[in-house]
Copies of this chain bind each other. A is one copy, B any other.
Amino acid sequence: MPSTKFQIAVSLDGYAAGPDPSEEEPLGVGGEALHERIIENAAWRKSHGYEGGEVNASTPVIEDWGTGFGAVLMGRGMFGPPNGGPWGEDPWQGWWGDSPPFHKPVFVLTHHDRDPLTLDDTTFHFVSDGIDSALEQARSAAGDQDVHVAGGADVIQQALAAGQIEEFELHVAPILLGGGRRLLENVGDLEVEQERVIEAPGITHLKYRVVK
C-alpha cells in the first residue's frame, strides 16, 4: 500500500528555515546549518553524484529516502527562487541545475500555469489548482510507489492539514534558529504515534505515523 510521506530537517526550536530567506540564503539566515550533517553523509553524497563522506547511523536513514517513491511533490519556493524570471519562453529552471537529483516525476504546487519542464531524467509538472489536485496527480504518477512531499514547510503544512500524510520523519539538528519558518503549525488537528528514533552524530531522526 503506497503512502504519502515527508522528511525534513528542523532546528531544535522547530524551524524548517531561518529568518530572512534570500537568493543567497534560500533557507534563511543560519538555515544551511540544518543540513550540515546530512550533506556530509556518504549516503547523501552518493545520491548527488559525489564520493566519500561520513558513514554513521544517519547513513541508512538517508539511503532509505531515495527508495520506494515514485513521485515528488514540492512547493514553488523549493523549485526555484521567487524572482527567478517570468514564466514563458525563457522559464527559470529552478535551483536544481541540469541534472536534478529526483529522477522521478516532480509536481510543483504553484499559482502560475506552466508547461512541464524536463531536465535530464526529471520532469517538473506545474500544478495550479491546489494541494488535493497536486497530490492526486503525484499519486497517479507514483502508481504502486510512495509519494514524497519534499517541502518546503508551506506545502508540508497544507498536506498535513488536508489529512494527506501517513508518515513523516524529522531530522532534528542541534541548533536554534530563533526565527524563520516553523514546520509544525497550521496543520489542524493532528494525532501521531512515535514510530522510530535514531540517534546519529550531531542529528536525531524522529519518525512518526499519522493516526488522524
Contacts and interface: CB of A to CB of B under 8 A. Distances in A.
B208 A192 contact: no
A12 B184 contact: yes
Interface string A181-205: 0001101011111101111001110
A8 interface: no
A70 interface: no
Contact of A174 (B187, B192, B204): B192
Contacts of A185: 13, 178
Interface residues of A, number: 26
A14 B184 contact: yes
Contact of A13 (B14, B198, B202): B14
Chain copies in the assembled complex:
2
Given A187-B176, A204-B197, A192 B14 contact: no
A199 B202 contact: no
B206 A204 contact: yes
Contacts of A187: 176, 178
A194 B184 contact: no
Interface string A68-83: 0000000000000000
B176 A192 contact: yes
B13 A208 contact: no
A208 B202 CA distance: 10
Nearest to A209: B174
A190 B184 CA distance: 21
A14 B185 CA distance: 10
Closest 10 CB pairs of A and B: A197-B199, A13-B184, A174-B194, A14-B14, A176-B190, A197-B204, A174-B192, A174-B193, A194-B202, A174-B208
